[in-house]
Structure 1
Amino acid sequence: MSVAGFNDIIQDSLASFLKYSESIGGDAAAQAKLVQKAFQAQLQFLTRASQSGQPSQGDLVSLLQPTSVQIAAVQEFRDKKRTSPHFNHLSAISESIPALGWVTISPAPAPYVKEMNDAGQFYTNRVLKEWKEKDKTHVEWVKAWVQTLVNLQQFVKQHHTTGLVWASKGAPPPPPGGLPPPPPMLPVADMAPGLDSAQDRSALFAEINKGEGITSSLKKVTSDMQTHKNTTLRSGPAPFKAPVPTPVAKPVAPIKAIEKPPKFLKDGKKWMVEYQRNNNNLVIENAEMNNVVYMFQCHSSTLTVKGKLNSIVLDSCKKSSVVFDSVVASIEFVNCQSVQMQVLGKVPTISIDKTDGCQMYLSPESLAVEIVSSKSSEMNVMVPKGNGDYTEYPIPEQFKTSVGPKGLVTVAVESKG
């Protein structure tokens, strides 16, 4: 039943996704073939699980290797095609394809599949926004892929509710070693030798009933027997202390981050600013309205864009800034940390996704801007005053949802700590 259910996904919604990917063509079609291989690899894995018991951890890693390789291939394809006109398509698949990793999740793998589906939603929304008025094929492409992950979630919930089910669980593992069992209880006679008769017990009780007289046979402790008066009794062998072994530090080779050479060039209508480090003199002169700026994995760098252009994207940047005149569409921050922007003219939309720390300095012409944020924190908007100063407004990060008469009602909540 499990294998048949997964095969239904491949022949139904995934087949639709592959058909629409072929219609779009180009990089979208090429990546879709890698997705197909990933699903086929998981089908083979599920077939194996339905026919045998759960293997050892080492064998399990080997069995999962084909699926893992195909998932990595899908993601690496996106990383190599950052100038592709279908980059949003590639990113949507790259962000959500790890849903096939549900086989390693327990006790509730179904929510993990939904989480991966949500992870790709940012890019699927961008595909819909860009293509819904141009080509409906891209809209159907989005629907087919989202439906594939929805079907996968339902399949997992139905057949593997608490984790991957194998054909047989096998013998349970032996219990872990613990403390040895307590020794058997000794008989009462062994605990008090010589008092195994009623006569002996009567003699014992007679001794106890003497009261204070029972101490008459005790020996008196003299001054020379007391350690606080006789200092010679204090000397003796020192208590045993186990020697403390001297730890031998093993040399650890320093791990060097892989750094790629910086890139600053124009490829057609797209400006590529990548892998810049500690460079505050990045300037784009005479930008045109159909130009796009893509800033990727820059660290401690500042980019200045002069002229009006279409859009700006900061992807995986850290401690970096961008200053620009005006954009026609939007400026976007994705997977960034501690970034800043300043607009001197006009910006219609600011999009923030999976970003921690974003300072936005607006101009008087940009007060009608729309800011869309998701899975982000520490976002602050600097609104200009008339005297050249700014007023800082934080964007809400905490929300309260309640059930109303027409569905859910969500309001922003001020965080007080």
Structure 2
Amino acid sequence: MAELAGLVQRLEVAVGRLESMSGPGGNAGGCAGAANSKLVSDFDDIVSGPLAEYLALSQKIGGDVLKHANMVKQAFSSQRDLIRTASSSQKPSDAVLTSLLQPVSRAIQQVQAFREQNRTSPLFNHLSAVSESVPALGWVAMAPKPGPYVKEMQDAAMFYTNRVLKDYKEKDKTHVDWVKAYLGVWTELQTYIKAHHTTGLVWSKAGPVASASAAPAPPAPPAGDVPPPPPPGPPPPPCMDASSSSSSGGDDERNALFASINKGADITKGLKHVSDTQKTHKNPTLRTGGGPVRSGPQPFSSPRPAVAPPPKASLPPVLELDGKKWKVENHDGVQDLLISDTELKQVVYVYKCNRSTLQVKGKINSITLDNCKKMGLVFEDVVGIVDIINCRDVKIQVMGKVPTMSINKTDGCHVYLSSDSLSCEIISAKSSEMNVLVPKKDGEFTEIPVPEQFKTVWDGSKLVTTATEIAG
């Protein structure tokens, strides 16, 4: 079935090439038309190569991975339509360009929404690898360095693809091949951009100016409605300063950036010109008068009367065993959360819990803390890994043993090790303010910071990286 899916994908690409070659005008475009068609045919090589292999392996894995892969396929199809339009049309106005970019943007958001909708999926690491890197398709709105942007998004997937490799390296080679094929998609896309679009999406210098009608219809939503984004968490407690406020919504920020870039020159239309009489450095009397006098409608004011916002919905707290997974979600200010009836095959997943404390007794497989703030975790024995992801100001205390602890995208993490867990490996990435507390003979702890700054030098044959203290 996997081979058949690959053959079908290649057949679709071949048909697409024939369609582009038989477009209006025949051979009237001459050499310019041939050069422009190469923009499409070389992109098709990515679709028929690593993308087709990724889709075939996703079909072999099945489940959520296959559903996700079909959304990625639609995203690449939308991008191909855009490249085909650019190869035969002149660059349009910013407003029209925004319309042309929307199908790609919507496809990216659809892929990311599916990951958020399936956080309890057993293939969550696969979904996360794709969701973290699919914004790379936004390179069509990036200038002047679209290639490095794709590389940055590819690197964002590495944290999760490494997890897939760790979980399946000795179990199922299909998942290992899946990782290789998926990362190969972005590697080939970087090569394609370097060859044709080094400083940004290239548009034809001949032909008609692209119109909004050239934009294809947006992709259909997947089966089942995508739920609305979860409501924002409670405000940070008074002891937290501005630097510790939530900034973990990387996906939303990238989508917002993509939308802003799409506006082009229109992004400044909402700004109001300030005359010299309203500038405090040219009119000193305004400095004691509470600021410049504002007359007329404000640039961002609404002519409609203010309406009180609807009350924010809050998700119910959860503490339950679902199959082999303990789900602990949406608790706020609860200090006595307890999981005691545990088995070795079970895992604990803690999501969006704030100002709370969880105690886990017994020996279990793994624990994950995701999007938690001011959270305390005390556990006895973990035979696998403890993951701390997208958290703020958390404290972890090991009472027994744990072989590995992973800290990723987390600001403020204190790990209290027991005398039996001193051999624990701590792996960190994109995190700050990490401290490990090691017990002394008198029962007190010695606090040791985890390095955040590194120095890399070339020793003549290889790169050598060492931790370094932050220079004052």
Give the shorter-chain TM-score range: 0.7 to 0.9
Please state if 1:351 is matched with 2:388.
no
Task: Give the distance between the partners of 2:406 and 2:449, measured in 1 at CA.
Answer: 15
Alpha-carbon distance, 1:117 to partner: 0.5
Moved more, 36-45 or 270-279: 270-279
Deviations 1:151-193 (A, max 9, x none): 01111122111111111398xx9xxxxxxxxxxxxxxxxxxxx
* Cα deviations by residue, 1:338-368 (Å, 9 ceiling, x for unpaired): 1111111111111011111111011111101
Cα distance between partner residues in 1 of 2:312 and 2:446: 39
* Aligned mates of 1:150, 1:374 — CA distance in 2: 22
Alignment correspondent of 1:269: 324
Counterpart selection for 1:69 from 87, 106, 115: 106
Q: Give the number of the structure whose residues are more often strand, by fraction.
A: 1
Select 1:39's aligned residue among 34, 54, 76. Answer: 76
For these two proteins, the number of residue pairs brought into alignment is 347
- Looking at structure 2, the residues matched to 348 and 261 of structure 1 have their Cα atoms a distance apart, in angstroms, of 33
Q: How does 1:299-314 map to 2 (within 5 A)?
A: 299-314=354-369
The alpha carbon displacement at 1:416 in A equals 3.2
5+ residue gaps, structure 2: 1-37, 210-264, 266-291
Correspondence for 1:26 among 63, 71, 95: 63
Of the three residues 177, 189, 199, the one matched with 1:140 is 177
Say what the alpha-carbon RMSD is for the aligned residues.
Answer: 2.1
Identify the residue that residue 293 of structure 1 maps to in structure 2.
348
1:1-42: CA deviation from partner (whole Å, max 9, x where unpaired): 221111110000000000111111111111111110110011
Match of 1:7 among 38, 41, 44: 44
Give how far 1:99 is off.
0.6
Between 280-289 and 133-142, report the one with greater CA deviation.
280-289
What is the identity, as a one-letter code, of the residue corresponding to 1:85?
P
Work out the CA distance in 1 between the residues paired with 2:96 and 2:328.
Answer: 44
Task: Quote the Cα distance in structure 2 between the aligned partners of 1:323 and 1:20.
Answer: 40
2:373 to 312, 318, 334: 318
Aligned to 2:417: 362
The match for 1:204 is none
After superposition, the C-alpha distances for 1:201-233 in whole angstroms (9 at most, x for unaligned) are xxxxxxxxxxxxxxxxxxxxxxxxxxxxxxxxx
Q: Give the whole-Å Cα distance in 2 for the aligned partners of 1:395 and 1:275.
A: 29
User: What is the CA-CA distance between 1:245 and the residue it aligns to?
Assistant: 5.0
**2:440 is aligned with 1:403:** no
Paired position in structure 1 for 2:334: 279
Task: Say if 1:244 and 1:132 are closer, same or farther in 2 by CA, change over 3 A.
Answer: closer
Instruction: Give the whole-Å Cα distance in 1 for the aligned partners of 2:155 and 2:52.
Output: 21
2:159 to 92, 107, 122: 122
Q: Which runs of 4+ in 1 moved over 3 A?
A: 243-259
Determine what percentage of the aligned residue pairs are the same residue. Answer: 53
* C-alpha displacement of 1:254: 5.8
CA distance in 2, matches of 1:31, 1:56: 33
Give, in whole Å, the separation in 2 of the partners of 1:103 and 1:257: 36
1:106 match: secondary structure = coil
Return the alpha-carbon distance in structure 2 between the equivalents of residues 162 and 244 of structure 1. 44
Give the equivalent residue in structure 2 for 1:337.
392
Alpha-carbon deviation of 1:408?
0.6
Greater mean deviation of Cα atoms: 250-259 or 385-394: 250-259
Distance change (3 Å), C-alpha of 1:256 and 1:351: farther
1:149 equivalent in structure 2: 186
Length-normalised TM-score, structure 2: 0.70
Q: 1:244 to 1:318 in 2, by over 3 A?
A: closer
Secondary structure of the corresponding residue to residue 183 of structure 2: helix
Letter paired with 2:380: D
CA distance in 1 between partners of 2:443 and 2:330 (Å): 34
Q: 1:122 to 1:255 in 2, by over 3 A?
A: farther
Question: Which has the higher relative contact order, 1 or 2, with Cα contacts under 8 A spaced 6 or more apart?
Answer: 2
Letter in 2 for 1:376: S
C-alpha distance in structure 1 between counterparts of 2:375 and 2:308, whole Å: 30
Output the CA distance in 2 between the equivalents of 1:8 and 1:391. 57
Residue deviations 1:127-157, cap 9 Å, x none? 0000011110100000000010100111112
The C-alpha deviation readout for 1:232-283, integer Å capped at 9, x for no partner, is xxxxxxxxxxx94568886586697664222221110001112222222211
